[in-house]
Amino acid sequence: MMANRLFSPIVLVALCGCASAPIVLDRLPETEAPMRAAEELGAARVPQAALELKLAQDEVQQAKTFAKDGNKPRADMLMLRAQADAELAVALAREAPLQVEAKNATEAVKLMQQK
């Protein structure tokens, strides 16, 4: 009976300690999805989008390091920040071709007006 009283708290502490790092890594798919989307949309060809994507990648690596070291709050914050930066990279990558299209349309209208 005494062994059960000692064993239960030890198991509980061990389980809590092991559960803290995976919680941070549970956010990884939510963060990596916009990173992949930005890459597929050609973020590398848009300087600002490429920068935001690189920031997101660096923040994910830092978050993994903090999670490994047991600093869950910092790791969580970095994962959220990485997700936001990746989503910004997606938006910037989507915006670039639309800007080119709008510029071309404006030039076409100006040409028509001159005729």
Provide the residue ranges of all domains of the chain, joining segments of one domain with +: 2-114
**pTM of full prediction above 0.85:** no
- Residue 80, H or E segment: helix 72-114
Whole-number pLDDT of residue 103: 85
Q: For residue 104, what pLDDT band results from cuts at 50, 70 and 90? A: confident
| Right CATH for 2-114 from 1.20.1270, 3.30.2120, 3.30.420, 1.10.10 | 1.20.1270
Average confidence (pLDDT) over 17-40: 77
pLDDT at 12: 45
Residue 2 in 3-state DSSP?
helix
Q: Is the pLDDT of residue 14 over 70?
A: no
Percent of the chain surpassing pLDDT 90: 56
CA distance 21 to 71: 9
pLDDT at 97: 83
